[in-house]
Structure 1
Amino acid sequence: MDILWTLLTLPYAPVRGLTSVVKVIAREAESRQYDPANIRRELEELDRAAEAGDITPEERDRGQQRVLDRLTGAGGGGADTAAAPARPPRRPAARRQAAGQARRVDRRDDPERRRGR
């Protein structure tokens, strides 16, 4: 059975290989993003740029806030952060129904069900 499965899925081998390479790259990028040495280096670079006059103290503060938000996972820092929201905002019920999405009904609080009908 294993030989048959291997032969049938052989055309998908490049896709499986590419998927595993992408996973390794993503794991490495994430580990570097949260590495304390890299975070410290970024904060020191911001301080050096502010001392040299390349950026203003306000820009340094915004940069530090972005680094700390990335570290803590808080994506809603300010208006100038480029982080996308975790999920799209919910649409009001009337717009959901107009878009053809059914409204879920909670049957636990249904008066007809409580009466035993």
Structure 2
Amino acid sequence: MDILWALLTLPYAPVRGLTAMVKMVAREAESRQYNPVNIRRELEELDRAAAAGDITPEERDRGQERVLDRLTPPAGDTGRTPSAGTAGTGRRPPARRRVDRPGDRHRGRGR
């Protein structure tokens, strides 16, 4: 059955490959956007530009707010946090398995 399914869906292989590549690029871009090293570098660049007189202190403050806003999710977004290990992957964390303990009663078992 798997061979038949693979043959029938073979024309869609380029679409599946392109979809996988787009997801991988999006995941990498999001991980770089929320990377603490990159955030620190952007904040340092804003400070250097302000010290050199390239931007005003108000522009620096606005830039810092914009960079730091990436660290906190919007008020209505409760499903994703940038610091989570599965950020941007669309996956949920693995479910916890139930541990059988002596004396537990399970469905279908009459202990």
Of the two, which has the highest radius of gyration?
Answer: 1
Would you say 1:34 and 2:57 are equivalent positions?
A: no
Partner of 1:72, secondary structure, is coil
Structure 1: stretches of 5+ with no match in the other structure: 76-84, 87-117
Distance in 2, matches of 1:65 and 1:33, equals 15
Distance in 2, matches of 1:16 and 1:52, equals 49
Distance in 1, matches of 2:46 and 2:71, equals 16
Distance in 2, matches of 1:44 and 1:74, equals 24
Tell me which stretches of 4 or more aligned residues in structure 1 moved more than 3 Å. Answer: none
Seq. identity, %: 82
**Higher relative contact order structure (alpha carbons within 8 Å, sequence separation ≥ 6):** 2
* Length-normalised TM-score, structure 1: 0.62
Count of aligned pairs between the two proteins: 77
Show the counterpart of 1:59: 59
RMSD of Structure 2 on Structure 1 (CA)? 1.6
Partner of 1:48, secondary structure, is helix
1:39-72 alpha-carbon deviations (Å, 9 max, x no partner)? 0000000000000010000000000000011111
Show the counterpart of 1:25: 25
Matched to 2:39, the amino acid is: I
Structure in which a larger fraction of residues adopt helix: 1
Would you say 1:10 and 2:6 are equivalent positions?
A: no
Matched to 1:29, the amino acid is: A
* Length-normalised TM-score, structure 2: 0.65
Shift of 1:73: 2.2
Distance in 2, matches of 1:17 and 1:9, equals 13
Matched to 1:10, the amino acid is: L
Matched to 1:44, the amino acid is: E
Matched to 1:35, the amino acid is: N
What does 1:1-117 correspond to in 2, within 5 Å? 1-74=1-74
Matched to 2:55, the amino acid is: I
